[in-house]
């Protein structure tokens, strides 16, 4: 059995300290050790995007990182998007039927959150490019693109108090 | 009736989904989110070979690894359960071998489970798998379906005598005469590659056994909890009442999660042996290797066509390779059968002869994926129509107009024997042409050709087999033809509904809440729908065959009618009115024409649940009813038309979709937004089938497509916006007139896209009959093109 290491980080603003094996992925760490199961695993090889979280503000594949690599970092997950209720991006997904089974949705939301921070008025083409690393098997993407357009408009009109870190 | 009132009807409106809040907040409850005390994790040693004898297995080093709690070998697994066989008895003459949880004497496909391990966590379980030693003696692999049929080919199951699982067909009308009087006969071979479902949530299971009770609870990512209860009972030798199967949130399924998988059975056996909960979650490699595959077909077709474009007759000969076993319990012969049966589509073709061979091979098992058989049948027919149209110098629209079944011909019986009772075949085509701007795109295409751009326009007119009321049960499979609903008015006047149909993202809970709200005159928010738990809901068939909306709605309507009748009788007593004069609307129960004489459902709930002693003895103190529903006809046919415009880059071979327009007719829509999203999602899966998705094995049966980088699924960047239009032709035979919709998009896309690509490539004299249409396929066809001919005819 491999030696365990202390990992200290913040997840959605809360300090977390756990003892983990070096081979444990950040995704498994979040799901099993921190018990935040909103981050989903679809491929465990970095293609599907379901496990996307924010690491020090940047979107990353939590299945391709070890928990020990996130030592000292700020991690943001879907559970931290809104303090209470829903974030405007989440509301837009609801309004536009932009989810079906909901399995890809957390990763999709984190990617969109990052996109709209960098680019507040993306075109449909730009939205589609930004979502290229998040596979949705249910919707066909059209409704997701609609939702992102609507969320962008909403965020331009009234930026929320930022929750995800 | 209960549906009238001042509150607008919920049915027919794009009511927002009741399922969304939790899922958006990361609070979904998928199987892998479940953690039970003392739970251990399963992993499997899997075959690296397509075909090999298992000479020796040694597990001692694995057992010695700290953290390992059990290692299950094939012999032990076989002793602990009853094997299963994927036969449907109504396919006369079909044969397949018994299947066991773990490979006994031979392995027959790459990824087949050989040994199961349970350990403290998945990491350790996989370490232990690496320590299991298996000695194989490799055998020649049977990979090619045509070769599998040839005498002298190695046998996958020696005891069966050959590799043919099923041989079938039919000969209807006067086929030879039709060919004798044809103006032209067109012959082609269509080759459709293997695919798989790729639900983003992999197959997942937690099994917990209580030895003192002899009870097994299984949380499984499944479309069919009652079917799983029945097959676990048969295989594990437990009585049904001791098995509870729960399908919590399910992350997509598309036909993937309706089968008996050997690793699922092995995980249950581990749980039973250990008396500890066992979690088993497939990883993506295991998904590619062991999820059911679909769509490996060769179709040779001949079409006899008159000078005016009338299709006089057809012959088809289909071969499909389905892996080593026919899948249990739905079998692996249905897709091939649907290919030949559905081939005539919505067209008036009276003379048709078809032959089918379903063969075994050393690849993963094949069974039902979204739109079973439809995409292949439709693609073949639509491509043949375009070929005939081009040769006869007819517009592709015109040849379809001449052959589509007209409304005044309904009910129409197809050559095979399907009966179309209602539909809008020509009307859908005209609407698609209008909305899609067909004439304008033809002009754009001509302009593009002058400028060196290669645009193509493709059409497909299709039928969709939905809501089968009888299908697998007639072949002996424990698969319900009926579905069910329990509807209960709670003491406070709100409504709980327990539905046999399940939800994998379709928005089923929303749709049924809309129906129930209208039936009982309450708001959608006052209805809570639950499903997916055999301990909770009445017996149901889950989802498959686009049955959920039709059967779930039917059962819900019947249950609501029974509840409303109870409410009316009790309210009639309390309001001193005849029950027939009592109506339910806006959450109130009142005497017709006297709105001041009214009660709320909460008033009635209080009387029934807490003061039933004061009700007359002949009034049952109940506000609950369970109803079961089977559609009156074996199949409810939906239909639609797709029009697609593509641009082909003849240098790179890339296909870009410029416009995608669909017309769908699923009868009255319960929720048009849910319908549109079912269509869009299904279209994109159809686009994936046609352009990208391909499970590839090499000549030795080694699986080459093992990651999402090798097996391409459609991404947001390549997909177009998809315009969805509706016609609503009610079924005369279902409650509410509803028809299914979930598979239509997947059925229609391949034909439309293949035709569009071929239309674009016609000036080069190129016509493709293979799927997926990869850039390589296009470029190599262009390299071999006979000549450049700008009007597109040879």
Quick: pLDDT tens for A101-116.
999 999 999 999 999 9
Our CA-based measurement puts residue A164 at a distance from the nearest CA of chain B, in whole angstroms, of 12
DSSP three-state, residue B157: coil
Across chain B, which has 794 residues, the per-10-residue mean pLDDT values are: 62 98 97 98 98 98 98 98 97 97 98 98 98 98 96 96 98 98 98 98 98 97 98 98 98 97 98 98 98 97 98 98 98 97 98 98 97 98 98 98 98 98 98 98 98 97 92 92 97 98 97 98 97 98 95 98 98 96 93 93 97 95 98 96 98 98 98 98 98 98 98 98 98 97 97 98 96 98 74 42
Of residues B30, B20, B125, B33, the one with CA closest to residue B70: B125
Residue with tokens 């709100």: B494
**Mutation for A interface: B15, B25, B29, most A CBs within 10 A:** B25
Measured CA to CA, the distance from residue B325 to residue B113 in angstroms comes to 14
B200 contacts A136? CB cut-off 8 A: yes
Q: What is the mean pLDDT of residues A111-123?
A: 98
Task: Provide, as residue numbers in chain B, all residues whose Cβ is less than 8 Å from the Cβ of A43.
Answer: 284, 707-708
Omega cis (within 30) before B411: yes
Q: In terms of DSSP bridges, do strands B582-585 and B655-665 run parallel, antiparallel, or are they unpaired?
A: unpaired
What does the pLDDT read at residue A161?
Answer: 66
My answer on whether B570 and B640 are in the same domain is: no
Q: Does the pLDDT of residue A162 top 80, yes or no?
A: no
Rg of chain A, C-alpha, whole Å:
16
What does the pLDDT read at residue B788?
Answer: 54
Rounded to the nearest 10°, the torsion over CA B464, B467, B473, B474 is -60
* Residue B757 near residue B773 (C-beta atoms within 8 A): yes
In tens, the pLDDT along B457-515 reads: 999 999 999 999 778 998 999 999 999 999 999 999 999 999 999 999 999 999 999 99
The answer to whether position B688 is within a domain reads yes
The answer to whether position B659 is within a domain reads yes
> Which residue of A24, A78, A129 is in closest CB contact with B717?
A129
Q: Final residue of a domain: which of B629, B653, B674?
A: B629
My answer on whether B535 and B669 are in the same domain is: no
CATH of A88-157, one of 1.10.287.890, 3.30.110.40, 1.10.150.120, 1.10.579.10: 1.10.150.120
The answer to whether position B241 is within a domain reads no
B708 contacts A105? CB cut-off 8 A: no
My answer on whether B660 and B774 are in the same domain is: yes
In tens, the pLDDT along B248-294 reads: 999 999 999 999 999 999 999 999 999 999 999 999 999 999 999 99
Of residues B642, B688, B700, B755, the one with CA closest to residue B142: B700
My answer on whether B697 and B764 are in the same domain is: yes
The verdict on A31 touching B (C-beta cutoff 8 Å) is: yes
A101 contacts B251? CB cut-off 8 A: yes
CATH number for position B552 = 3.30.365.10
Give the residues across from B72 on adjacent strands: B116
The answer to whether position B518 is within a domain reads yes
* Residue A12 near residue A77 (C-beta atoms within 8 A): yes
Tokens of B251: 């992350």
> Which residue of A38, A44, A48 is in closest CB contact with B200?
A48
Of residues B576, B536, B549, the one with CA closest to residue B734: B549
Our CA-based measurement puts residue B507 at a distance from the nearest CA of chain A, in whole angstroms, of 7
> Which residue of A42, A77, A139 is in closest CB contact with B677?
A139
Those residues with Cβ within 8 angstroms of residue B63's Cβ, 6 or more apart along the chain or in another chain: B71, B128
DSSP E strand boundaries for B150-214:
164-172, 184-192, 195-196, 204-210
Mean pLDDT score across all residues of chain A: 95
The DSSP-derived string for B750-767 is: HHHHHHHHHHHHGGGT--
> Which residue of B24, B677, B717 is in closest CB contact with A93?
B24
B199 contacts A93? CB cut-off 8 A: no
Other Cβ atoms within 10 Å of B769 Cβ, number: 18
**Closest chain B CA to residue A39:** B26
Residue-wise over B402-439: b if at least 16 C-beta within 10 A, else e?
bbbbeeeebebebbeebebebbbbbbbbebbbebbbbe
> Which residue of A40, A94, A139 is in closest CB contact with B24?
A94
My answer on whether B662 and B792 are in the same domain is: yes
Provide φ and ψ at B184, rounded to 5°: -140, 150
My answer on whether B570 and B651 are in the same domain is: no
My answer on whether B670 and B545 are in the same domain is: no
The answer to whether position B510 is within a domain reads yes
In tens, the pLDDT along B644-659 reads: 999 999 999 999 999 9
What does the pLDDT read at residue B4?
Answer: 45
Total domains in the fold of chain B: 2
What does the pLDDT read at residue B396?
Answer: 98
My answer on whether B787 and B643 are in the same domain is: yes
DSSP three-state, residue A7: strand
Task: Provide, as residue numbers in chain B, all residues whose Cβ is less than 8 Å from the Cβ of A127.
Answer: 716
ipTM for this prediction = 0.97
The answer to whether position B295 is within a domain reads no
The verdict on A163 touching B (C-beta cutoff 8 Å) is: no
Measured CA to CA, the distance from residue B38 to residue B276 in angstroms comes to 6
The answer to whether position B754 is within a domain reads yes
Q: Final residue of a domain: which of B614, B629, B644?
A: B629
Burial status of residue B5 (CB atoms within 10 A of its CB: 0-12, 13-18, 19 or more): middle
My answer on whether B513 and B619 are in the same domain is: yes
The verdict on A30 touching B (C-beta cutoff 8 Å) is: no
Measured CA to CA, the distance from residue B498 to residue B490 in angstroms comes to 13
What is the CA A44 to chain-centroid distance, rounded? Answer: 15
Task: Print the domain residue range for B501.
Answer: 20-28+482-629
Decide yes or no: CATH 3.10.20.30 for domain A5-80.
yes
In chain A, what are the domain boundaries? 5-80, 88-157
Q: Final residue of a domain: which of B629, B662, B691?
A: B629
If you ran DSSP here, which 8-state letter would residue B155 be given?
A: P
If you ran DSSP here, which 8-state letter would residue B91 be given?
A: S
């Amino acid at each position: 059995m491999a030696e365990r290491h202390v990992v200290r980080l913040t997840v959605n603003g809360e300090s977390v300290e756990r003892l983990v094996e070096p081979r444990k992925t950040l995704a498994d760490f979040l799901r099993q050790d921190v018990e935040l199961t909103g981050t989903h695993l679809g491929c465990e090889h970095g293609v599907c995007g379901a496990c996307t979280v924010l690491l020090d503000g940047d979107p990353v594949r939590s299945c391709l990182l070890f928990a020990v690599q996130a030592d000292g970092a700020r991690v943001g997950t879907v559970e931290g998007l809104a303090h209470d209720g829903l974030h405007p991006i989440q509301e837009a997904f609801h309004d536009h039927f932009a989810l079906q089974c909901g399995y890809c949705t957390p990763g999709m939301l984190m990617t969109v959150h990052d996109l709209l921070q960098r680019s507040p008025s993306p075109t449909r083409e730009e939205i589609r490019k930004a979502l290229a690393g998040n596979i949705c098997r249910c919707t066909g993407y059209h409704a997701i693109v609609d939702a992102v357009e609507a969320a962008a408009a909403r965020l331009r009109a009234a930026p929320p108090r930022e929750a995800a870190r | 009736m209960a549906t009238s009132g001042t509150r607008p009807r919920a049915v027919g409106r794009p009511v927002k989904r009741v399922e969304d809040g939790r899922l958006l907040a990361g609070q979904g409850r998928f199987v892998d989110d479940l953690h039970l005390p003392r739970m251990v994790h399963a992993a499997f040693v899997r075959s690296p070979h397509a075909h090999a004898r298992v000479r020796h297995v040694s597990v001692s080093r694995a057992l010695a690894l700290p953290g390992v709690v059990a290692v299950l070998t094939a012999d032990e697994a076989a002793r602990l359960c009853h094997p299963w066989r994927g036969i449907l008895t109504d396919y006369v003459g079909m044969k397949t071998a018994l299947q066991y949880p773990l490979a006994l004497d031979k392995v027959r496909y790459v990824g087949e489970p050989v040994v199961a391990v349970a350990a403290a966590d998945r990491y350790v379980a996989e370490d232990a798998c690496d320590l299991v030693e298996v000695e194989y003696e490799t055998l020649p692999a049977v990979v090619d379906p045509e070769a599998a049929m040839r005498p002298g080919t190695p046998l996958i199951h020696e005891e069966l005598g050959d590799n043919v699982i099923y041989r079938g067909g039919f000969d209807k009308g006067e086929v030879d005469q039709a060919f004798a009087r044809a103006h032209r006969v067109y012959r082609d071979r269509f080759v459709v590659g293997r695919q798989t479902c790729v639900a983003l949530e992999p197959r997942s299971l937690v099994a917990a056994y209580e030895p003192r009770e002899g009870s097994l609870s299984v949380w499984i990512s499944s479309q069919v909890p009652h079917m799983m209860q029945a097959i676990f009972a048969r295989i594990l030798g437990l009585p049904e009442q001791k098995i509870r199967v729960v399908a919590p949130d399910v992350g997509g399924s598309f036909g993937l999660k309706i089968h008996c998988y050997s690793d699922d059975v092995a995980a249950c056996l581990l749980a039973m042996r250990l008396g500890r909960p066992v979690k088993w979650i497939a990883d993506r490699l295991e998904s590619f290797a062991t999820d059911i595959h679909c769509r490996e077909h060769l179709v040779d077709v001949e079409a006899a066509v008159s000078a005016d474009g009338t299709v006089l007759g057809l012959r088809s000969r289909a071969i499909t390779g389905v892996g080593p076993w026919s899948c249990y319990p739905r079998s692996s012969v249905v897709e091939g059968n649907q290919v030949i049966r559905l081939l005539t589509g919505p067209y008036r073709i009276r003379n048709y002869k078809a032959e089918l061979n379903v063969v075994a091979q050393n690849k993963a098992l094949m069974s039902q994926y979204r739109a079973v058989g439809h995409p292949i049948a439709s693609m073949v027919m639509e491509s043949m129509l375009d070929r005939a149209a081009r040769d006869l110098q007819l517009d592709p629209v015109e040849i379809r107009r001449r052959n589509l079944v007209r409304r005044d011909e309904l009910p129409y019986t197809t050559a095979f024997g399907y009966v179309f009772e209602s539909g809008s075949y020509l009307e859908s085509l005209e609407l698609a042409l209008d909305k899609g701007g067909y004439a304008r795109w033809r002009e754009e295409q001509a302009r593009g050709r002058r400028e060196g751009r290669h645009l193509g326009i493709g059409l497909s007119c299709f039928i969709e087999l939905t809501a089968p009321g009888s299908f697998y049960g007639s072949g002996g499979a424990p698969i319900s033809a009926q579905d069910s609903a329990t509807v209960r008015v709670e003491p406070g006047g709100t409504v709980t509904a327990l539905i046999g149909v399940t939800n994998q993202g379709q928005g089923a809970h929303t749709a049924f809440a809309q129906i129930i709200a209208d039936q009982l005159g309450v708001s959608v928010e006052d209805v809570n729908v639950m499903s997916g738990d055999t301990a909770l809901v009445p017996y149901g068939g889950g989802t498959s065959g686009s049955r959920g909306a039709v059967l779930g709605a039917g059962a819900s309507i019947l249950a609501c009618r029974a509840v409303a009748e109870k409410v009316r009788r009790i309210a009639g007593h309390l309001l001193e009115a005849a029950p027939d004069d009592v109506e339910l609307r806006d959450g109130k129960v009142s005497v017709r024409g006297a709105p001041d004489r009214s009660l709320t459902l909460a008033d009635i709930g209080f009387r029934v649940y807490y003061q039933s002693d004061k009700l007359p003895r002949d009034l049952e103190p109940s506000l609950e009813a369970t109803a079961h529903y089977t559609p009156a006809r074996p199949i409810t046919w939906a239909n639609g038309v797709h029009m697609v415009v593509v641009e082909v880059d003849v240098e790179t071979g890339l296909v870009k979709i410029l416009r995608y327009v669909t017309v769908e007719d699923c009868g009255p829509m319960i929720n048009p937004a849910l319908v549109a999203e079912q269509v869009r999602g299904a279209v994109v899966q159809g686009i994936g089938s046609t352009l990208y998705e391909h499970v590839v094995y090499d000549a030795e049966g080694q699986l080459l497509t093992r990651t999402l980088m090798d097996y391409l699924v459609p991404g947001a960047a390549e997909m177009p916006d998809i315009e969805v239009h509706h016609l609503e032709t009610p079924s005369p035979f279902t409650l509410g007139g509803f028809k299914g919709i979930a598979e239509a998009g997947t059925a229609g896309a391949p034909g439309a896209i293949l035709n569009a690509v071929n239309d674009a490539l016609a000036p080069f004299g190129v016509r493709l009959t293979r799927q997926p249409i990869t850039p390589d396929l296009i470029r190599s066809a262009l390299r071999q093109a006979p000549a450049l001919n700008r009007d597109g005819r040879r």
